[in-house]
Amino acid sequence: MLESLKLAPNFPEAECAKLDDKDFFFPDSQVELQERLPRLTTLCSQCVHKAECLEFALETEQDDGFWAGTTPEQRKLLRKKKTRVHNRQDQIVELLSQGLTRSQIAETLGIEYRYVSKVIVRLQRKEQSQ
């Protein structure tokens, strides 16, 4: 827990920063987590730094504690989903570079044409903004 807090971003105006007991965000058991969950959820749901906090927790693979309104189990699911999305995007880019059309990509990957189009448009916008 201490190592996680040393690395954590510093948001002095966040409600969590005002708590003296930082261990409050690191329950020792599921029972403790369930007891604290209402207050933890309330604190995090109103925080202006929720997105940055979640990004930190996901990027640094925080497997303990309550970060940005999420439990360790929820963050593991989010990381898996994020990995699947990136893998799918990589597959679409690869097939596109091979000259396949959007329809062919959708058929090859067994996904909807609309999704392939959305990914391509999103990637093109990202490329243009850089």
Residue range 43-93, pLDDT digits in tens: 998 888 888 888 889 889 899 999 999 999 999 998 888 887 788 888 999
The residue range of the domain holding 46 is 2-70
pLDDT band for position 1 (cuts 50, 70, 90): very low
Residue 100 located in a structural domain = yes
Q: Which of 105, 130, 127, 100 is nearest to 116 (CA)?
A: 105
pLDDT band for position 7 (cuts 50, 70, 90): low
Task: Judge if 10 and 37 occupy the same domain.
Answer: yes
- Is the Cβ–Cβ distance between 87 and 100 less than 8 Å? no
Q: Which two tokens stand for residue 58?
A: 């996901």
Task: Judge if 63 and 90 occupy the same domain.
Answer: no
Task: Judge if 57 and 87 occupy the same domain.
Answer: no
Task: Judge if 60 and 84 occupy the same domain.
Answer: no
Q: Which two tokens stand for residue 56?
A: 């930190």
pTM (global) more than 0.85: no
Cβ neighbours around 116 below 10 Å, total? 25
Residue 75 located in a structural domain = no
pLDDT for 86? 80
Per-residue pLDDT reduced to its tens digit, 85-119:
788 888 999 999 999 999 999 999 888 999 999 99
Task: Judge if 64 and 84 occupy the same domain.
Answer: no
Tally of domains within the chain = 2
pLDDT for 2? 44
- Is the Cβ–Cβ distance between 46 and 15 less than 8 Å? yes
Task: Judge if 50 and 109 occupy the same domain.
Answer: no
